[in-house]
Structure 1
Amino acid sequence: MSLVPRSVREAIHPVHRAGWPFIAITLALALVLGLLWGPLFWLLLILAGWMLVFFRDPTRVSPNAPGLVISPADGRVEPLVTVVPPAELGLGPEPRQRISVFMDVFDCHINRAPVAGRIAKIAYKPGKFVSADLDKASEDNERNGFVIDTAEGHRLGVVQVAGLVARRILVWTNEGALVAQGERIGMIRFGSRLDVYLPEGSVVLVAARQRAIAGETVLAHLPGAAPLPPYPVRVD
């Protein structure tokens, strides 16, 4: 039996292995440079503590219902738009509904598959590094896109968009791979956004400025899936 309460164990998230080199280097610099100037030790120690938060890798449990699109990232839902997907995805010239989730430097940056399916395509495009909360970031910034085909015949686009601080997009899957809903597929360092391009007929279930949790928050309902149960509507 563990001596640590369950609530405390669940609040302490593991750190993804991608973060340990940064944390170790920062701690080493804190020890060395702290000998030269004391305040540097504390500044770098605080930076290492922030990295522990940034690279956290919590366990997430995805909703168990057919036809759901879940959030691929933690963060704030941006205003919903209908736009033509990036050309490199090969999704055609017709506009699609796009749901964007903006991650600030305090959000968990592990990216997850919004649906279960096969990775039909992975497409990287170099670009700029303007602030990821600007709408033009989806067109101008460095990005990496996934096209996911579901077993029901739907095709979605998921795009990792680098931000003002982010300089590295990591991908943890390959073309042709089968991914489970909520499976880890990559991350972006250090502040960025995820764009999801939905099939025509999808029903969006989130609103702008809503907070999303990767692997758990439902973003949309795919067309043709079993209907969702009715929900009560708040009347102000």
Structure 2
Amino acid sequence: MKLHKEGYPVIIVVLLLLLVIIVLINILFPKQTPVHYLLYLAGLIFYFFVVRFFRNPIRDVTPQNNLILSGADGKVVVIEEVEVKEYFNDKRKQVSVYMSPLDVHVNWFPVSGKIKYYKYNHGSYFIASKPKSSEQNERTTVVVETEDNKEIMFRQIAGTVARRIVCYAKEGKEATQGKELGIIKFGSRFDLFLPPDAKVEVEIGQKTIGCETVIARF
């Protein structure tokens, strides 16, 4: 299992903390009991969860200009027409994918093109599946203009547990569909804001796979 580079510091810190806790438990309570073994098992399960969270699957994509691919693994929680004040100041079709703590949290570019806009916003940490998280939570916002002059906006949104967003997008650079955009740590959401003429191909509750599920097409 390949791990994301952003996960190594967290994994090392968690491992050291667990080792310190185990040593302290054995110093304070040297006699081994079933409780000791339960604590060891709980620590092992927690460590496995942390390591698994930072898995980084390799997914091969052949870029297609007429398709908008999912930028994240998860479940579709929002499909609606909204007024987008940031950058566009007009109506867009919003499709949101919620990533649970069990999902892969690497994000990928849903389209290819030139990165026209990037902004990071400090914010709150509401539950990522709630509508207000799109405007009020910590988030990054990126706009990519495709070869067909279609502008696609997407957001990485932190949730109640996620406290750090990593985004590699830079204004003026080229984005390639399926290439890594970044990662959100421990529970989050990925929003897409599409042109009105985009045909949405998913439905509420549908599971998505980053780089594979077609969110919409032109």
* Fold shared, TM-score > 0.5 on shorter chain: yes
Look up the SS of the partner of 1:18 in the other structure: helix
Q: As a proportion of its length, which structure holds more strand?
A: 2
Runs of 4+ in 1 over 6 A off after TM superposition: none
Asked if residue 28 in structure 1 is aligned to residue 25 in structure 2, the reply is no
Q: Which of 156, 159, 168 in structure 2 is aligned with 1:160?
A: 156
Match for 2:4: what amino acid?
A: H
Give runs of aligned pairs for residues 120-131 of structure 1, distance below 5 A: 120-131=116-127
Q: Given that residues 129 and 164 in structure 1 are in contact (C-alpha distance below 8 angstroms), is that contact kept between their aligned partners in structure 2?
A: yes
Secondary structure (helix, strand or coil) at the match of 1:23 reads helix
Structure 1, unmatched stretches of 5+, are 1-12, 223-236
Per-residue Cα deviation, 1:82-122 (whole angstroms, up to 9, x for no partner)? 112252xx112x21100000000010000100001111111
Picking from 138, 145, 157, the partner of 1:142 is 138
User: 2:3: which partner in 1?
Assistant: 15
For residue 114 of structure 1, give the secondary structure of its aligned residue in structure 2.
coil
Which of 83, 88, 92 is 1:91 aligned to? 88
Q: Which residue of 2 is the match for residue 202 of structure 1?
A: 198
- The CA distance in 1 between the partners of 2:40 and 2:14, in whole Å, is 10
Tell me whether 78-87 or 175-184 shows the greater mean CA deviation.
78-87
- The residue that corresponds to 1:190 in the other structure is 186
Could you tell me how far 1:52 is from its partner in structure 2?
1.6
- Whole-angstrom CA distance in 2 between matches of 1:86 and 1:56: 35
Q: Return the letter of the residue paired with 1:53.
A: R
Which residue in the other structure is 2:105 paired with?
Answer: 109
| Superimposed CA distance per residue, residues 171-190 of structure 1 (whole angstroms, 9 cap, x where no aligned partner) | 11311111110110111111
Structure 1 residues 138 and 176: CA distance shift in structure 2, 3 A: same
Alpha-carbon shift at residue 124 of structure 1 (Å): 1.3
Task: State the secondary structure of the residue aligned to 2:18.
Answer: helix
Report the TM-score, using the length of structure 2 for normalisation: 0.90
The percent identity for this pair of structures is: 36
Please state how far the C-alpha of 1:65 moved relative to its aligned partner.
Answer: 3.9
Higher deviation after alignment, 61-70 or 149-158: 61-70
How many residue pairs get matched?
207
Shift of 1:75: 0.2
User: Unpaired runs of 5+ in structure 2?
Assistant: 26-35
Residues of 2 paired with 1:77 and 1:69: CA distance? 14
Match of 1:219 in 2: 215
Q: Secondary structure at the match of 1:30?
A: helix
Aligned residues: CA RMSD: 1.4
In structure 1, C-alpha distance between the alignment counterparts of 2:212 and 2:61, rounded to whole Å: 5
